[in-house]
Amino acid sequence: MAFSKFGLILLVALAVAGCVASQPQNVVISTPFDPSDAEYARRPGSATVYGQAFMRQVGGGVVTAAGSKVLMVPAIPYVHEAFTKGASASSRGQVVFSNLDRRLAAFVRITVADASGSFAFTNIGPGEYYIITQVLWGVPTEYGVNNQGGDLIELVRVNPGQSIRVIMSR
* Residue 83 located in a structural domain: yes
* Residue 9 located in a structural domain: no
Question: 3-class SS at 156?
Answer: strand
CATH number for the domain that contains residue 108: 2.60.40.1120
End-to-end CA distance of the chain: 30
Q: How far is CA 132 from CA 126, 135, 140, 170, in A?
A: 18, 10, 27, 13
* Residue 78 located in a structural domain: yes
How far apart CA 117 and CA 123 sit, in angstroms, is 21
E-only strand ranges, the chain = 25-27, 44-56, 62-64, 69-74, 95-97, 109-112, 118-124, 127-141, 144-158, 163-168
* Residue 3 located in a structural domain: no
How far apart CA 40 and CA 106 sit, in angstroms, is 12
* Residue 38 located in a structural domain: yes
Sign of CA dihedral 90, 103, 130, 51: positive
Q: How long, in residues, is the chain?
A: 170
Amino acid at 79: V
* Residue 18 located in a structural domain: no
* Residue 162 located in a structural domain: yes
Q: Are 48 and 166 in contact (CB under 8 A)?
A: no
Quote the pLDDT of residue 91: 67
* Residue 35 located in a structural domain: yes
Range of the domain at 34: 23-168
Q: How many domains does the chain have?
A: 1
Quote the pLDDT of residue 22: 57
Q: Which residues of the chain have pLDDT under 70?
A: 1-22, 91
Quote the pLDDT of residue 99: 86
